């Protein structure tokens, strides 16, 4: 019989899958919250039954979206800290770990913001792609330092997360120019920095982020505009140290072509990859809460934080 997960956990997983909860850091925070809920609501009578429930909850969360490594990194953190021989002991350690993780997540974003802000000067214009809370933390910290910034915001088809970025920047009184994605190269001469987030960072320093990031980075390089990735260390993908690749999520074609128009267009293939890979040579700096790194050296930090292994302790033992 399948193990039931708490309804609130199933709801959070459904919201992640539907992208009502989205963005790598926000997904991580929600996954930690969900594991804490599962632990608190469990009525398991034995430690083994409790563990089985926690594995089931982790499995439901893991299966939502494949590209943001912040999700499995959250599960790993909580499971590595879950310890005890009784239900109460396990419950308490899981809840504590999830809360500690969420606190560290907030602190890391603040610390990263301070570091990223140091790269921005008074009067600079930044270009953004998609919506990244790590990027916005850098902008917010720069504004707090008293710097005036303006922004060129790419709409980021097909789901227009650029609108969320534009709204947040306007709330902070940053003048915003919203452009379609294909206009980016035309506007690069007017900007001082390209700022992007990350869903995963591979051991060779490649940045996996919202589709369109790699093309933007190539154009920025050609124009001589520095490109910075703002990414907390939960975006580092330990599996890539042992040769694994990052799965790129393929999403529904209905996000690209309105189903009503589909018949009119005729028999064509529509593909909708949600992310792409920007090679390290097109990225100037990866800004983390531990400092800024040239992409090629990020593996040193990855090894320090994750060790040589990439265990998956959230999976039920077979």
Ligand X SMILES: O=C(COP(=O)(O)O)[C@H](O)[C@H](O)COP(=O)(O)O
> Roughly what angle, to the nearest 10 degrees, separates helices 47-62 and 70-81?
170
The answer to whether 60 and 37 have CB atoms below 8 angstroms apart is no
Tell me which residue of 233, 231, 247, 217 sits closest to 286, measured CA to CA.
231
Based on the residue annotation, tell me whether 199 is a catalytic residue of this protein: yes
Contact flag: residue 133 with ligand X (CB under 6 A): yes
Q: Which of 134, 199, 276, 284 is catalytic?
A: 199
Between the CA of residue 130 and those of 49, 88, 148, 156, what are the distances in Å? 41, 42, 22, 5
Residues 186-215 close enough to bind ligand X by CB under 6 A: 197-199, 209-210
Smallest gap from Cβ 201 to ligand X, in A, equals 11
The answer to whether 61 and 13 have CB atoms below 8 angstroms apart is yes
25 is in an annotated binding site: yes
| Cβ proximity to ligand X, 6 vs 135, nearer residue | 135
Q: Which region, judged by CB under 6 A, interacts with ligand X, from 78-86, 131-139, 214-222, 308-316?
A: 131-139
24 is in an annotated binding site: yes
Residues 257-286 close enough to bind ligand X by CB under 6 A: 274
Out of 29, 33, 53, 134, name the contact with ligand X by CB under 6 A: 134
Q: What's the rounded Cα separation, in Å, for the pair 229 and 138?
A: 10
Contact flag: residue 38 with ligand X (CB under 6 A): no
| Cβ proximity to ligand X, 72 vs 94, nearer residue | 72
Give the x-and-dash track for 149-178 against ligand X (CB under 6 A): ------------x-----------------
Between the CA of residue 246 and those of 30, 235, 236, what are the distances in Å? 21, 12, 11
Q: What's the rounded Cα separation, in Å, for the pair 143 and 146?
A: 5
210 is in an annotated binding site: yes
Residues in CB range of 165: below 8 A, 6 or more apart = 128, 130, 131, 132, 135, 136, 151, 153
Contact flag: residue 130 with ligand X (CB under 6 A): yes
Helix (H) or strand (E) holding 218: helix 213-223
Number of residues that bind ligand X (CB under 6 A): 17
119 is in an annotated binding site: no
The answer to whether 82 and 94 have CB atoms below 8 angstroms apart is yes
Based on the residue annotation, tell me whether 111 is a catalytic residue of this protein: no
Give the x-and-dash track for 217-236 against ligand X (CB under 6 A): --------------------
Cis peptide, bond prior to residue 158, ω within 30 of zero: yes
Catalytic residues: 130, 199
Where is the binding site for substrate, in residues?
22-25, 65, 209-210, 235
Binding site for ligand X (CB under 6 A): 22-26, 68, 130, 132-134, 161, 197-199, 209-210, 274
């Amino acid at each position: 019989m399948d193990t039931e997960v708490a309804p609130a956990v199933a709801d959070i997983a459904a919201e992640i899958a539907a992208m009502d909860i989205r963005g790598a850091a926000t997904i991580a925070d929600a996954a930690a919250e969900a594991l804490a809920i599962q632990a608190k609501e469990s009525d398991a009578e034995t430690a083994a039954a409790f563990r089985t429930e926690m594995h089931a909850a982790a499995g439901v969360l893991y299966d939502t979206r494949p590209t943001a490594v912040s999700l499995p990194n959250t599960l790993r953190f909580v499971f590595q800290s879950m310890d005890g021989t009784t239900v109460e002991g396990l419950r308490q350690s899981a809840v504590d770990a999830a809360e500690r993780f969420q606190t560290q997540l907030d602190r890391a974003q603040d610390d990263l913001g301070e570091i990223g802000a140091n790269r921005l000067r008074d009067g600079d214009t930044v270009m953004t792609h998609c919506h990244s809370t790590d990027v916005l933390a850098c902008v917010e910290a720069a504004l707090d330092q008293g710097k005036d910034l303006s922004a060129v915001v790419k709409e980021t088809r097909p789901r227009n997360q650029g609108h969320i970025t534009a709204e947040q920047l306007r709330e902070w009184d940053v003048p915003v120019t919203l452009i379609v994605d294909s206009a980016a190269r035309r506007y690069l001469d007017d900007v001082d920095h390209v700022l992007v987030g990350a869903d995963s960072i591979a051991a060779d320093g490649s940045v996996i982020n919202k589709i369109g990031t790699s093309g933007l980075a190539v154009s920025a390089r050609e124009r001589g505009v520095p490109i910075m990735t703002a990414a907390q260390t939960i975006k580092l993908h330990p599996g890539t140290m042992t040769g694994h690749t990052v799965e790129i999520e393929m999403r529904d074609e209905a996000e690209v072509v309105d189903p009503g128009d589909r018949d009119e267009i005729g028999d064509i293939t529509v593909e909708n990859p949600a992310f792409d890979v920007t090679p390290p040579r097109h990225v100037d700096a990866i800004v983390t809460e531990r400092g800024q790194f040239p992409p090629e050296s990020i593996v040193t930090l990855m090894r320090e934080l994750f060790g040589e292994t990439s265990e998956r302790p959230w999976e039920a033992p077979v």
